Amino acid sequence: MAHSIDMHNATYLNNQFIIAMPALTDPIFFHTVTYMCQHNEDGALGIVINRLANMKLGEIFKQMNISVTSETAANMPVFTGGPVQQQRGFVLHTNTNSGKWDMTMAVSDAISLTTSRDVIEAIAAGEGPEQYLVALGYAGWSEGQLEKEMLDNTWLNTPFGKQVLFDTSINMRWSAAAEQIGINITQLTAPAGHG
- Residue with the bigger pLDDT between 48 and 98: it is 48
For 125-183, the pLDDT digits (tens) are: 999 999 999 999 999 999 999 999 999 999 999 999 999 999 999 999 999 999 999 99
Task: Decide: 92 and 81 in contact? Cβ < 8 Å.
Answer: no
pLDDT exceeds cutoff 50 at 9: no
**CATH number for 62:** 3.40.1740.10
In a domain, 144, yes or no: yes
Task: In whole angstroms, give the CA distance from residue 120 to residue 104.
Answer: 12
pTM (global) more than 0.85:
yes
The whole domain housing 104 covers: 13-187
pLDDT exceeds cutoff 90 at 187: no
Query: What is the pLDDT, as a whole number, of residue 176?
Result: 96
In a domain, 195, yes or no: no
Q: Going by C-beta distance under 8 Å and a sequence separation of 6 or more, which residues neighbour residue 55?
A: 78
In a domain, 3, yes or no: no
Task: In whole angstroms, give the CA distance from residue 28 to residue 39.
Answer: 20
Q: Give the amino acid at 59.
A: E
Task: In whole angstroms, give the CA distance from residue 178 to residue 156.
Answer: 8
In a domain, 30, yes or no: yes
Task: Decide: 138 and 70 in contact? Cβ < 8 Å.
Answer: no
In a domain, 194, yes or no: no
Using DSSP's 3-state secondary structure scheme, residue 8 falls into: helix
Nearest partner of 188 among 18, 17, 24, judged by Cα: 24
| 139 beta partners | 46
Task: Decide: 156 and 150 in contact? Cβ < 8 Å.
Answer: no
For 83-122, the pLDDT digits (tens) are: 999 999 999 999 876 568 889 999 999 999 999 999 999 9
Task: In whole angstroms, give the CA distance from residue 188 to residue 186.
Answer: 6
In a domain, 102, yes or no: yes
In a domain, 193, yes or no: no
Q: Per the structure, how many domains does the chain have?
A: 1
Question: Distance from CA of residue 27 to its chain's centroid?
Answer: 16
In a domain, 123, yes or no: yes
